[in-house]
Structure 1
Amino acid sequence: MSLRLSTVILPYRRWHEDGRAAWQRAEELGFHTAYTYDHLSWRTFRDGPWFGALPTLTAAAAVTGRIRLGTLVTSPNFRHPVTLAKELISLDDISGGRITLGIGAGGSGFDATALGQEPWTPRERADRFGEFVPLLDRLLREDVVSHAGTFYSADEVRNIPGCVQRPRLPFAVAATGPRGLRLAARHGQAWVTTGDSKVNSAGTPAESLAAVGRQVDRLGEMCGEIGRDPAELEKSLLTGFTPDRPLDSVDAFVDFAGSHRDRGITEIVLHAPVPGSVFDYQEAVFEEIATEALAQLG
């Protein structure tokens, strides 16, 4: 089974200082996709520079030509399907059809209250996500959409000419629970995990690997329920949250990537180094992994 290697570039750099160069460098290094977080702010970065995901991806599309681009992930916390669809169709057009939408139910962090609302419970987030994804799917596929839902409405919304990618740009659905995995199975072209949060906080690398394997198996079961071949879905692991340390060295990454490939992961996503943060990796090791590690996997 082949393995793809992608990266996340956090949107904290000023574009005309070193932001542009980061995206161009990701393309030079040969990454399959360069993603960015779609947050209003994020954890320890909250009091520092942080730019919008979709304008950043638009700028990145203009200065690259081959690498795929995307969010990892967008959520209903501050997005509405109608306005998001229009922006995505525009971005897909500008990029020449190189956009993947990473999408998840969202969490209880800063984005959850930024618009003045009370944070939703896990059940409420799942309920909204369950309506958000199918409506967004329709908005990106159909020229005219009307929908009267519990949380979201659309009144004769036009999205002409639609996506460059047909029937729409791909969804990478981040999910670990049964409702989210069913959405990934039904609507996703990819599925995204950061591992098992309980294992990540106190478990070992071996326990984490086993947990990711169980998630892959559950996704396969959800695909089986609707008669879909799970091999149709990319299975992406966003690193940086499991107990492993795959960016310590090329050898460490090769061992990590090989074991996760054997459990069904088809894409591994690495955070580009951010000095002074939880992603403070050695730039030289990161670039060596990007250019040499996949060849060592065989």
Structure 2
Amino acid sequence: MSLRLSTVILPVDRWHAGGRAKWRRAEELGFHAAYTYDHLSWRSFRDGPWFGALPTLTAAATATDRLRLGTLVTSPNFRHPVTLAKELISLDDISGGRVTLGIGAGGNGFDATALGQEAWTPKERADRFGEFVPLLDRLLTEGAVSQRGTFYSAEEARNIPGCVQRTRLSFAVAATGPRGLKLAARHGQAWVTTGDPKLYEAGTPEQSVEALRGQVEKLGKACAETGRDVAELDKILLHGFTPDRNRPLESVDAFVDFAGRHRELGFTEIVIHWPIPDSDFAADQAVFEQIATEAIAQLG
């Protein structure tokens, strides 16, 4: 099974003071895709520079030619399907059809309360996500949409001419629970996971592999229940949140071993963070670039 390698570039640099150069370099290094987080801020970066995901991706679209671009991930925490659809159609047009929307239910961090609302419970997030994704799917595939929902509505929302990609741009649905996996099976062209968060602090790499194996099996069951072949979905692992943390980025050999073990589980794409000094994503830039250019070939 072939494996693609992608990167995620956090939006922490001013565009003309390093930001543009990173996205161009990602294309030069041959990454399949470059993603960014769609947050208003994030954890340890909260008190530093942090730019908007969709404007950043729009700028990246004009600075690159072949690189796929996307979010990992967008959520309902501060997005509405109607306005998001219009922005995505515009981005897909500007990029020439190179956009993948990573989308998830969101969490309970800063984004969850930045608009002044109370943080939603896990059930409330799942309820909203279950309405958000199907409506967004309609908005990106139909010229005009009217729909009344419990959480999200549209009234004659027009999205002409639609996406460059047909029938619409790709959804990469982040999910591990049964409701989210069903959404991935019904609406996704890909599925995204970061592993089992319960293992991050005290688990082992071996336990993580087994947890991921279980997630892949659950995705297969969700696909079977909806009459879909699980092989149709790309399976994306966002690296950096498993117990081995950034150890796979210490050498090409270490990454090849990590990637090989996860390819055997059925993953078709691994996403690694662009190094950021003095952060959770610190790594040697030279080794990172060597991994980008050499690792996939070594996997055969």
TM-score > 0.5, shorter chain as reference: yes
Could you tell me how far apart the structure 1 residues matched to 2:224 and 2:119 are?
34
Unaligned stretches of 5+ in structure 2?
Answer: none
Match of 1:123 in 2: 123
Report how far residue 248 of structure 1 moved.
1.2
Q: What SS does the corresponding residue of 1:72 show, helix, strand or coil?
A: strand
Residue of 273, 287, 290 corresponding to 1:288: 290
Match of 1:247 in 2: 249
Unaligned stretches of 5+ in structure 1?
Answer: none
Report how far residue 201 of structure 1 moved.
2.5
Match of 1:200 in 2: 200
Code of the aligned partner of 1:265: F
Match of 2:236 in 1: 236
Match of 1:272 in 2: 274
Could you tell me how far apart the structure 2 residues matched to 1:29 and 1:139 are?
35
Match of 2:224 in 1: 224
1:9 equivalenced with 2:9 (yes/no) = yes
1:102 equivalenced with 2:102 (yes/no) = yes
Could you tell me how far apart the structure 1 residues matched to 2:167 and 2:200 are?
37
**Map 1:44-193 → 2, pairs under 5 A:** 44-193=44-193
Residue of 254, 264, 280 corresponding to 1:262: 264
Alpha-carbon RMSD across the aligned residues, in angstroms, is 0.5
Q: What SS does the corresponding residue of 1:246 show, helix, strand or coil?
A: helix
Code of the aligned partner of 1:225: E
Match of 1:43 in 2: 43
Report how far residue 159 of structure 1 moved.
0.2
Report how far residue 227 of structure 1 moved.
1.1
Report how far residue 202 of structure 1 moved.
1.5
Code of the aligned partner of 1:278: D
Q: What SS does the corresponding residue of 2:18 show, helix, strand or coil?
A: helix
Report how far residue 199 of structure 1 moved.
1.7
Report how far residue 226 of structure 1 moved.
1.1
Report how far residue 200 of structure 1 moved.
2.0
Could you tell me how far apart the structure 1 residues matched to 2:17 and 2:132 are?
36
Q: Which piece of structure 1 moves more, 256-265 or 195-204?
A: 195-204
Could you tell me how far apart the structure 2 residues matched to 1:8 and 1:108 are?
22
TM-score (ref. length: structure 2): 0.99
Could you tell me how far apart the structure 2 residues matched to 1:179 and 1:200 are?
23
Code of the aligned partner of 1:61: A
Q: What SS does the corresponding residue of 2:7 show, helix, strand or coil?
A: strand
For each residue in 1:242-277, what CA deviation from the matched residue of structure 2 results, as whole angstroms up to 9, or x when unmatched? 012211111110000000000111100000000110
Could you tell me how far apart the structure 1 residues matched to 2:210 and 2:10 are?
29
Code of the aligned partner of 2:50: W
Could you tell me how far apart the structure 1 residues matched to 2:194 and 2:178 are?
16
Could you tell me how far apart the structure 2 residues matched to 1:288 and 1:163 are?
35
Report how far residue 205 of structure 1 moved.
0.2
Which 4+ runs in 1 deviate beyond 2 A? none
TM-score (ref. length: structure 1): 0.99
Q: What SS does the corresponding residue of 2:276 show, helix, strand or coil?
A: coil
Q: What SS does the corresponding residue of 2:242 show, helix, strand or coil?
A: coil
Could you tell me how far apart the structure 2 residues matched to 1:201 and 1:123 are?
25
Q: What SS does the corresponding residue of 1:157 show, helix, strand or coil?
A: strand
Corresponding pairs, count: 298
Q: Which piece of structure 1 moves more, 245-254 or 4-13?
A: 245-254
